[in-house]
Structure formats: structure tokens, C-alpha cells
Amino acid sequence: MNNRTPLMAGNWKMNLDHLEANHLVQGLAMALSDAGHDYSKCEVLVIPPFTDIRSVQTVVEADNLDIKYGAQDVSIHDNGAYTGEISTDMLTKLGCSYVVMGHSERREYHGESDELVGAKARKVLDAGMTPILCCGEALEIRKAGTHVDFVLGQIRAALAGWSAEDVAKIVIAYEPIWAIGTGETATAEDAQEVCGAIRAALREDFGDATADSTRILYGGSAKPANIKELMAQADIDGALVGGASLKADSFAEMARFYA
Ligand code: PEP
């Protein structure tokens, strides 16, 4: 037993316009309330595209919902001539509490390095939000059996020079790339192997208090059918969910893994 609050985070990616976003958040709130969800047993987070955040904020505030929301990426710059970018200040003003960085799709399609990912995490933490730092290996690396070293290398590079206190405030999401959006979930043992190794590395680098309080999520085709088994693993504190977070009922069911 540990005192880390589980987190179910829905990464909507580039899906749903602002009207559909309203609909999904209302449906999710309703499904959770009908089922008697206890938010102290699992925090619920939605991560919509930037253009939906204001709408989500309006629903959450108007209905006084316990659902949290955040962003899928952020700039490392404060303001100015950075066409297309969004600052931490813009996100905090919209009430975002979490920001994802280093998702494999951004690493692959936008060439994001571990150093950039680390700088984004620092920026987000300094702005008072919680970074969700993604890591994960491609299929070739998994096949070569070097996945644990690869993932620890990504995290160590991103968090180089960080204090133990700051690392304790972030969330790490382990997402094997071969399991994202493919329907192929890592087995609970595969996921635990890497999440356990991440916690052991945090213990070695930053000490017991940080290792014991940093939340580590699994992501990659997590769904209602496998969430209980994943959440039963010692070092998995929640999930970063893509496809299954786009349906209110399935995502609500996942948040209620404990029931
Ligand atoms: C993700 O993109 O973070 C993800 C885990 O997607 P899916 O659940 O669809 O595999």
C-alpha cells in the first residue's frame, strides 16, 4: 500500500472539436456521478486539444466538476514571435493543472529531444502545473531487449540536474510505442517491469521519498478490459489513455478500476 493517488488521464490527441469536447466532459461527469465515483480513489484528467480547453474549463467551472484538465504540449518560451506555440501562462490562465510532454508522437513527428522535453517539464512545474513526462521504446528496442536501459536513459536525460523535491511533483508516463493505438497492450508484467525499473532508478538518483511519491502511469491500448490488472501492479499508479478516453462510459469505467 502506498499513498500515491491513482490518476486516469485521457489523452484526446487531435480528436473532438470544442462542441464535442463539451459533450464528452458532461457525459463523463454524468457517468462518474451515476456510478458513485470517489475522486479521492482516482483522480480523473482530460487532455483535450488546445482549441477545446476553454470549453472544457467552462463546463468544469459551471458544473463545479472534480474533473481536471490539461494540455498535450507547451512552449518553452514565455511569449513573442513563436508562431503556433502556446505558453504556460496561457494554460494556467485557463485553469489547466497538467501538461503532457515528450509523447512519442511529438518525439517522432516533431523531433523533440529528451533535453527539450526536460525543459518543457521544468517550465510547466515552474508555472505551478504538473508535468506528465512521457517515455517509451520502439518495437526494435523492445526486441533487442534494451528497453529498460533506453527508457531510463530518456528519463535521466530529461531530469538531469533536477532536485529530488521537484522530481517528486511530476508524473512519469511509460508508453511503449508498439502498444500505442495498436490494440496491442503490453502485458501487466511487461508494464510493471519497466515501471518498477523507473521507480528503482528514481530511488537511486533522488532517494526514497521521491521514489515513493512520484506517480508512474502506463499507457498503450489501456482499456476497461485490462485496467484492473494493470492497476494491480505495484509500480503502476494510473494510465495515460488514448482511444478509450474518447468514450465517456469506457473512460469512466477505467477511472473506477478500484470498484
Ligand atoms: C496515448 O496516446 O497516450 C495512448 C496510450 O493511446 P492508446 O491508449 O490509444 O494506445
pLDDT digits (tens, 9 = 90+) for 215-254: 999 999 999 999 999 999 999 999 999 999 999 999 999 9
Is-catalytic flag, 103?
yes
Task: Name all residues whose Cβ lies below 6 A of ligand 1.
Answer: 11, 175, 180-181, 219-222, 240-244
pLDDT band at 184 (very low <50, low <70, confident <90, very high): confident
Residues 147-179 have pLDDT tens digits of 999 999 999 999 999 999 999 999 999 999 999
pLDDT at 181 over 90: no
Is-catalytic flag, 110?
no
Q: 202 - beta bridge partners? A: none
Residues 29-81 have pLDDT tens digits of 999 999 999 999 999 999 999 999 999 999 999 999 999 999 999 999 999 99
User: Quick one: pLDDT at residue 20?
Assistant: 98
Task: Calculate how far, in angstroms, residue 132's C-alpha sits from the geometric centre of ligand 1.
Answer: 14
> What's the CA gap between 72 and 12, in Å, rounded?
9
* Ligand 1 atom 7: residue of nearest CA: 242
Neighbours of 213 (CB within 10 A): 16
- How far is residue 210 from each of residues 25, 44, 51, 95, 197, measured CA to CA in Å? 33, 23, 35, 26, 14
The larger pLDDT score, comparing residue 14 to residue 2, is at 14
> What's the CA gap between 137 and 52, in Å, rounded?
30
pTM, full prediction: 0.97
pLDDT band at 203 (very low <50, low <70, confident <90, very high): very high
Answer for the pair 77, 107: CB distance below 8 angstroms, yes or no: no
Where are the extended beta strands (E) located within 50-170? Answer: 68-71, 98-101, 130-135
> What's the CA gap between 68 and 73, in Å, rounded?
16
Of the candidates 103, 105, 112, 253, the residue annotated as catalytic is 103
pLDDT at 183 over 90: no
